Structure 1
Amino acid sequence: MANEATQFEPGQSGNPGGRPRGARNRSTKALEAIFDGESEALTRKVIELAKDGDTVALRMCMDRLMPVRKDRPITFTLPEIETPADLTKATRALMQGVADGEITPSEAAELSKLVDAHVKAISAADFAGRLAALEQSAGSKGSRR
């Protein structure tokens, strides 16, 4: 039994590439085949049921007409962020906004991600500028020789 070859090495996936993008499972394909050509009639029926007072059908229609919003626009003023050093001002403002009830903790967390991305962009631009200046000064020194 110890000499039996295993199909896969321990810790290795049998399908390292994973499921191909856009691939649908058999049950989804089967349902699509069943509903093919019937979707208009089914939609009409659900609308009729909703008009007749069927609350489940009404909810189904409303969910399609006006889906629940996942998030909302918020009005919150952050201090200007021009350098990585300004990050502490922004995080302080976010914490104060949560403490004051202006924004929720989850909204502050999402805004923190935006602030972090902005600071990283500033740092990358600053690094690129300093690198270009170094390369230019190195190039001008090399041409003097």
Structure 2
Amino acid sequence: MRRLPSTAFKPGQSGNPAGRPKGCRNKATQTVIALMEGAGEQIVQSVIRAAQAGDLAAAKMVIDRLAPPLRERPVNLPDFPDTNCIAGINRVSQIILESVASGELTPGEAATLSAIVEARRKALETQQLSERIGTLEKILKK
């Protein structure tokens, strides 16, 4: 077990016990909340009226709050091959590339999928190397 130096903070002990209590908001946040509580509905209504009048910045604010951009979506790749061999991993990479080229996947989605496929390739490679080393060790022990 590692010993902590005598100058280190003890677990659960604050470096500044007289500091801000947990959950306490800073003054700027408190001021904004107070303003919103007093006139929040009026502000929202004025932004909506501005958006209806054609103010694009106000319209963007309203739309961003009502329907935020999607972060991720399910991806369905047709004829997904077995990834227990290098040939299958190569085929998956080709499918991802073709899906980007045809517009079925965005480049960001393809990058995410490619990273997953690369992790699978590394795991497969590690497994194969482990088996090969085990076989060589058995041969050397004879």
Q: With the length of structure 2 as denominator, give the TM-score of the two structures.
A: 0.50
Match of 2:89 among 88, 91, 105: 91
Aligned to 2:108: 106
* Residues 1-145 of structure 1: pairs in structure 2 closer than 5 A: 24-77=25-78, 78-80=80-82, 86=84, 88-100=86-98, 101=101, 103-112=105-114, 114=116, 116=119
Counterpart Cα distance in 2 of 1:105 and 1:21: 42
Q: Could you tell me which amino acid in structure 1 is paired with residue 64 of structure 2? A: D
Deviation at 1:79, TM superposition (A): 2.0
Deviation at 1:47, TM superposition (A): 0.7
Identity of aligned residues (%): 31
CA RMSD of aligned residues (A): 3.7
Deviation at 1:88, TM superposition (A): 3.2
Counterpart Cα distance in 1 of 2:22 and 2:54: 41
What SS does structure 1 have at the residue aligned with 2:43? helix
Counterpart Cα distance in 1 of 2:95 and 2:34: 52
**CA displacement 1:92-145 (0-9 Å, x = unmatched):** 23320243225455323423555648x98xxxxxxxxxxxxxxxxxxxxxxxxx
- Larger RCO, structures 1/2 (Cα 8 Å, 6+ apart): 1
Whether the 8 Å CA contact 1:98–1:108 is kept in 2: the answer is yes
Deviation at 1:91, TM superposition (A): 3.0
**CA displacement 1:39-86 (0-9 Å, x = unmatched):** 1111111111111111211111111222222233333132245xxxx1
Aligned length in residues: 100
Which structure 2 residue ranges, 5 or more long, are not aligned? Answer: 1-6, 9-13, 16-20, 124-142
Which structure 1 residue ranges, 5 or more long, are not aligned? Answer: 1-7, 121-145
What SS does structure 2 have at the residue aligned with 1:37? helix
Counterpart Cα distance in 1 of 2:91 and 2:59: 43
